[in-house]
Structure 1
């Protein structure tokens, strides 16, 4: 791992851009170290530089004292995609705009994205936990499909907060049964892109003994601010 830039922010957080091999990432650390680590991923591989993810990461670091990391894994953010990936995404956009049933197209886009992204996140986790001041156990927050895969294969992840606003491929729905870490699932009841029945069925599938569902009225982008605070308290219970 090498750091390529750093910025001291006015909330006391240190934001550093980093590279692990070919994997670009960002690490936000609080004033007081050492600190437990939370991995934060945006739904369906959106960039780590997205303003909503950056705001969440800064808040968690500044107000709750966690180190927070995000990466652009293979096929995500600004990382290159194969021609077949681009064709599948173009067909998915066309189907959504036409109001067509898109589950199989989503499967063809999101399934390979999770398969490609998970190894990069595990590589980044190895490098992050080798840094002075970054401690385990580790929490995860964000993209549900990726979080399921990581929690199923990565014993260092001790608590998982998932946003139920993205498509979860069939493989991850099956893998959810292997996830035993404490779980908080956040559901927007009126999410226009994710039928609530899918999220409720997914919640039932998890193997976690401790699992909590928070459901709020509103669409995909209307998650209340207090859920960010509640997710931090959830991680406090299991990482500190």
Structure 2
């Protein structure tokens, strides 16, 4: 299909409540085109579905997505919002880098920071996540009860009563969580397209396409079409 015949309706990213809240806050007041461009690059570049199975292609799409995000930050945001936006995009890119695929089922999974309600204190611990870590069989029963309409509340309460007698669970969980967050913040993501010119869409497209031609891919159609959709989403 021609690019101008493709109409994408990207899902909004729900990786964690904090990431989603940050994105919504940063996009508040922005045009629908900018918002759609952000969620499209998250879905198509940072976290593409299973139709993109080649790891080199996934890496190139992710890097192109980071540069598209840089264009949005430079052209449609200012000051602190620009920096915050790029920070959130890097968080999502770091999550994307944790992707593993089960060789038997082909199911892809990602590591995400523990869920925490908006406004919850820094020392908040999700009881379900604690159960998942230290009593996985109980957690499986909880999930089954939620899915099948069982008494999941009773399972949760019974587990919560065990926590005070197992203080090592909390300390270990916090140590592991702190390490995970630190490791994800320190994730290094190389971007071969990092230095492209974002002064205008025309220049950005020309510069990006020039960089695509320097890659080792036999065909760069998957990159050029992706970039064309990005430009079209923004009305160019």
TM-score, normalising length: structure 2: 0.27
Which structure ranks higher in relative contact order (CA pairs < 8 Å, sequence separation ≥ 6)? 2
Structure that is richer in helix per residue: 2
Pair member with larger Rg: 2
